[in-house]
Structure 1
Amino acid sequence: MLGSTFAFGLMAVAIRLATAHVPTQEVAFFRNAFGLLALLPMLLRPGRAPLRTRQLPQYLLRSAIGLCSMLCAFWALGHLSLGQAVSLSYSTPLFVTIAAVLWLGEVVRVRRWAAVVIGFVGVLIIVRPGTAGFSAGSLVAVAAAVLGSLVAIQIKQLTRVDSADTVVFYTYVFWVPLSLVPALFVWVWPSGIAWLWLAATGVMGTVGQLLWTRALRLGEVSALTPISFTQLPLVTLFGWWLFDETLDRWTVIGALIILSSNAYIAHREAVLARRAASRAATAGSAPGE
């Protein structure tokens, strides 16, 4: 998880550097194209079983929503401070909780709802609507989080049938042509150092995704989620070093509130999952008693 967090943090920095040379839509295309190239040797190596699926329409929908989320997130990374953009991206789990109730019919009790409300207070503290510190661009980052929550729900549904590697592979297969369409309308041929930043977005994004899925398979979400919060100080450090950015106190306060809320939600979900597994094991052993 720590490796995944650093990879995603470096991807965010590369996106910021790349957007200084080419439009956001083009950065998204190259992130997907280079990401697929980095993924192919691992997924299509000799002796590996073919990646088959019967859920192609669902992958198309997941990829389309994911691309919209990606474009919003990339725009935020290119136009807001890195720290603020990443802080607002941490609101995704809050929206995931709401989407799980509306889409999957999951039951969320009072304590998790309270954590969600507290998390949204953190979002409001960062965005500060109606004040001089408000930026309409921050709403783009929030939109990325909302769309990202829908993607998370779709991934949960897809992985009930397909493996994590299959989900990642077919997502990229659709992402590349889908992201090429908006990129063509603003196309600027990259030159020089821009190619390095564009390649880094794809490679770091793929490495981050692969490490993330494996981390979740090996450990509990409640234990791993706090590790992912180290991305914020990482990108803040790079923002200060490369772009002379600093985090204002409201962003710091809001980020801490959001991160605390996320940590509690992850903890409660892990506790409930363990209880459900324990009940299922007990029920399964009952006939033999």
Structure 2
Amino acid sequence: MASDLTTTRHPVVTAIIWMSGALISFSVMAIAARELSAELSTFQILAFRSMIGLLIVSALLSRSGWQQLKTDHLGLHAMRNAVHFTGQFCWFYAIAFIPLAAVFAMEFTVPIWTALFAAILLGERITLPRVLAILIGLSGVLVMLRPGLAVIHPAALVALASAVAYGMTHTLTKKLSGRDTALTLLFYMMLMQLPLGLIPSLFSWTTPSQALWPWLVIVGVTGLTAHYCIVRAMAVADATIVVPMDFMRLPLIALVGFLLYGERLDLFLLLGAGLIIAGNLVNVFSEKRRSRS
């Protein structure tokens, strides 16, 4: 089914479909992380996420074949996962202290870092439409945040550090996506990041209450589905095309924050969301025209 999707649709449309799955997954994971942070440390949440994810990926590999784990790029996997774990730690930490929309807004500097890292490491072109899409999207974020009134909690800076780490992670994901399968990337991600979260969490371990287990499972599952969708999107489109689509996460999570946690939803959010959508449309349609010429 996945191969049919890739071959019968325009690559950009296919990337949009995969990124839609990633957006939904990240939003659900943010809700689960907020619920878990009331009892568990960030390291412990990440440890459970990796454990559950590793079990799921292993079950999938038992059906599709373990031979795909053979890779000549273990060093690149290790680098990707060290950077990604840092970004994940910062992301989960920030979610516990500041509004969901504020955390996601900080993440939308990711396209800037991704474009920079992709140009340096992958040799991707930074075309005018791609720059325009990023600038329009970021202007939407600025409208939502209204500079001068933004969250000033120190966790906001932690969220920004997460964005830098994610920019590098996206670039390394693109570099690996043409060499190893999506399941291979996910297996090494869970395997390598498990001790990074488990060992520190043992020093202040809290046994999860029964009510937390569904949220732990959700974190594990959505962590996998989000990254699987991103890997598939990166496999069919440039990183600087895929990542600006992630801007759609902000209006989505702002709505979730309003409905579930009473976080404010106002006219600036709607205006900013409109700019974000416009930026994505500029990016998508310009890329489709370029591929036809």
TM-score, normalized by length of structure 1? Answer: 0.78
**What is aligned with 2:92?**
74
Instruction: Report the aligned-residue RMSD.
Output: 3.3
2:131 and 2:255 mapped to 1: Cα distance?
A: 33
**What is aligned with 1:151?**
169
Query: What letter corresponds to residue 107 of structure 1 in structure 2?
Result: R
Change (3 A) 1:133 1:148: closer
Residues 15-60 of structure 1: CA deviation (Å, up to 9, x unaligned): 1111111112211121121111122211222756442111111111
Secondary structure of residue in 1 paired with 2:40: coil
1:144 and 1:113 mapped to 2: Cα distance?
A: 22
Secondary structure of residue in 2 paired with 1:35: helix
1:1-289 aligned at under 5 Å gives the runs 1=18, 2-45=20-63, 49-126=67-144, 131-136=148-153, 137-214=155-232, 231-250=249-268, 253-269=271-287, 271-272=289-290, 274=291
1:223 and 1:114 mapped to 2: Cα distance?
A: 12
Residues 171-205 of structure 1: CA deviation (Å, up to 9, x unaligned): 21111112223333443222221222122100122
Secondary structure of residue in 2 paired with 1:54: coil
- Greater shift after overlay, 85-94 or 259-268? 259-268
Change (3 A) 1:126 1:113: same
**What is aligned with 2:12?**
none
Residues 147-184 of structure 1: CA deviation (Å, up to 9, x unaligned): 11101111111123212221121121111112223333
Residues paired across the two proteins, number = 274
1:85–1:138 CA contact under 8 A, matched in 2: yes
Instruction: Tell me which structure has the larger Cα radius of gyration.
Output: 1
1:231 and 1:262 mapped to 2: Cα distance?
A: 12
Residues 91-114 of structure 1: CA deviation (Å, up to 9, x unaligned): 322321122123333332334334
- Greater shift after overlay, 261-270 or 18-27? 261-270
2:86 and 2:277 mapped to 1: Cα distance?
A: 24
- Greater shift after overlay, 132-141 or 6-15? 132-141
Question: Where does the alignment leave 5 or more consecutive residues of structure 2 unmatched?
Answer: 1-17
1:120 and 1:227 mapped to 2: Cα distance?
A: 12
2:279 and 2:212 mapped to 1: Cα distance?
A: 37
Secondary structure of residue in 1 paired with 2:210: coil
Query: What letter corresponds to residue 152 of structure 2 in structure 1?
Result: S
2:269 and 2:46 mapped to 1: Cα distance?
A: 26
Change (3 A) 1:6 1:133: closer
Secondary structure of residue in 2 paired with 1:174: helix
TM-score, normalized by length of structure 2? Answer: 0.77
2:217 and 2:239 mapped to 1: Cα distance?
A: 30
Residues 67-96 of structure 1: CA deviation (Å, up to 9, x unaligned): 001011112222221222223334322321
Change (3 A) 1:229 1:77: same
2:98 and 2:270 mapped to 1: Cα distance?
A: 15
Change (3 A) 1:269 1:168: farther
1:222–1:267 CA contact under 8 A, matched in 2: no
2:43–2:197 CA contact under 8 A, matched in 1: yes
1:177 and 1:271 mapped to 2: Cα distance?
A: 46
Change (3 A) 1:216 1:98: closer
Question: Where does the alignment leave 5 or more consecutive residues of structure 1 unmatched?
Answer: 279-289
Identity of aligned residues (%): 32
Change (3 A) 1:241 1:123: closer
Q: For residue 250 of structure 1, report the CA deviation from its aligned partner.
A: 4.8
Query: What letter corresponds to residue 190 of structure 2 in structure 1?
Result: Y
Residues 125-158 of structure 1: CA deviation (Å, up to 9, x unaligned): 55556x3544143222222122111011111111
